[in-house]
Chains A and B, each alone.
Chain A
């Protein structure tokens, strides 16, 4: 990368890059195929959570029992990416590095406070908190000579439930709005919550329990709807072919309430339920 930072692009699964090449929207002089680097496809335990190599394919992560157990939110969100025949090649790291403002995985890693490990041949490795990684449309904190190598996701906290909800025009399309949520419920009241929206801004939008007015309150439909309204009011979503700003704001309101509700139900339910993740 060091040598070719001007005109080189790394190729991961190619599921975003090859369409850009086919449409002549990107014309790199050089492609560097990361598939040859075996270490980048490792998936294993990391402290109480998991470490996912950037080149782990989305389909592999989605099927992994370890991912389902230790990162149920990721397992749930992966199913919303495109279609099986695209996830069979697309990689976890490729989706994050590509940073599409409507992609699912950026919202997931920000919600879960993941650490992203990046490397350059000159300066070695550094670790970037997920919340600092996304800096705009298709733009990340990666420098021209760096690649993303590993995603470290902390294990699920006690009494915490997760869910992912989205609405898209057709099954498999990018989300018009998507919401990732994590809610902890202890002794009948909410002890922590984080949620992150995708599709509503140039990067994932994070909100936490205090901002949502959720800390210390009993989980019920009313508080979740109020949280949805509070977030929706502060969003300035884009208007495009898929939906108007107003429609997206309304979707955000509904999906935030829904995601918080199902995450809190899982937090209170038994472990099995929590591990299941959340198909819509």
Chain B
């Protein structure tokens, strides 16, 4: 193995560049900063919510290179060079995406705290373009917790979005 690079102090900011919702963004972050905090505090993208901050609730789910991931369990330095998509990127030119419309029509949220994480997880599912039964949808969404809806309306929203062939 090669000579390892010198370690970086936890307080020293490291430059990173990444694409967020299609836009090139750069910043300098302490190595310990999570992606969630970077998005919310440095980029003011506060649509990504933080619930548990240790991977259990799914509220902070974003897409990293097309795959859903917990932004509370990723350090910002780990996504240097990656393509990140957040809830702010779903609507196009102020128009709700087909998924967002389906969720609104089915009353898929109440307080809305869990919604950004759910929508990004569901968005990834839609982009896989698989036919899914309701039971499979429930399984796929089992990593996202909601304290309000009882999940019924969320699942209805997903089934509606799947039915309409929505993927964007």
Contact = CB atoms under 8 A, between A and B. Distances in A.
Given A22-B54, A83-B143, A88 B69 contact: yes
Given A85-B68, A88-B68, A89-B73, A15 B4 contact: no
Given A32-B4, A89-B69, A121-B1, A18 B34 contact: yes
Given A14-B78, A35-B78, A83 B142 contact: yes
Contacts of B124: 84
* Residue in A37, A83, A119 whose Cβ sees the most chain B Cβ within 10 Å: A83
Contacts of A172: 142-143
Given A59-B67, A88-B67, A88-B69, A18 B142 contact: no
Contacts of A14: 73-75, 78
Contact of A85 (B4, B10, B121): B121
Contact of B142 (A8, A31, A88, A170): A170
B90 interface: no
B53 interface: yes
A171 interface: yes
* Residue in A15, A22, A32, A85 whose Cβ sees the most chain B Cβ within 10 Å: A85
Interface string A226-267: 000000000000000000000000000000000000000000
Contacts of B4: 3, 32
Contact of A22 (B58, B68, B72): B72
A237 B69 CA distance: 33
A35 B77 CA distance: 11
B73 to A, nearest CB: 5
A44 to B, nearest CB: 20
A82 B69 CA distance: 12
A171 B139 contact: yes
A89 B77 CA distance: 14
A84 B75 contact: no
Interface residues of B, number: 29
A143 interface: no
Contacts of A128: none
A19 B31 CA distance: 15
B55 interface: yes
A30 B7 contact: yes
B68 to A, nearest CB: 4
Contacts of B70: 15, 85-86, 89
Given A4-B7, A85-B61, A18 B67 contact: no
A88 to B, nearest CB: 4
B115 to A, nearest CB: 15
Contacts of B73: 14-15, 18-19, 86, 89
A115 B147 CA distance: 44
Given A18-B75, A22-B53, A30-B7, A85 B69 contact: yes
A264 to B, nearest CB: 27
A83 B60 CA distance: 14
Contacts of B68: 84-85, 88
A23 B54 contact: yes
29 contacts: A3-B4, A11-B78, A14-B73, A15-B73, A18-B34, A18-B73, A19-B55, A22-B53, A22-B72, A29-B10, A30-B7, A33-B77, A35-B78, A59-B67, A83-B58, A83-B142, A84-B140, A84-B143, A85-B70, A86-B70, A88-B69, A89-B64, A89-B70, A89-B73, A89-B74, A119-B1, A121-B1, A170-B142, A172-B143
Interface of B: 1, 4, 7, 10, 31-32, 34, 53-55, 58, 61, 64, 67-70, 72-75, 77-78, 121, 124, 139-140, 142-143
The 7 A-B residue pairs with the shortest CB-CB distance in the complex, in nearest-first order: A83-B143, A19-B54, A85-B68, A171-B142, A88-B67, A18-B73, A30-B7
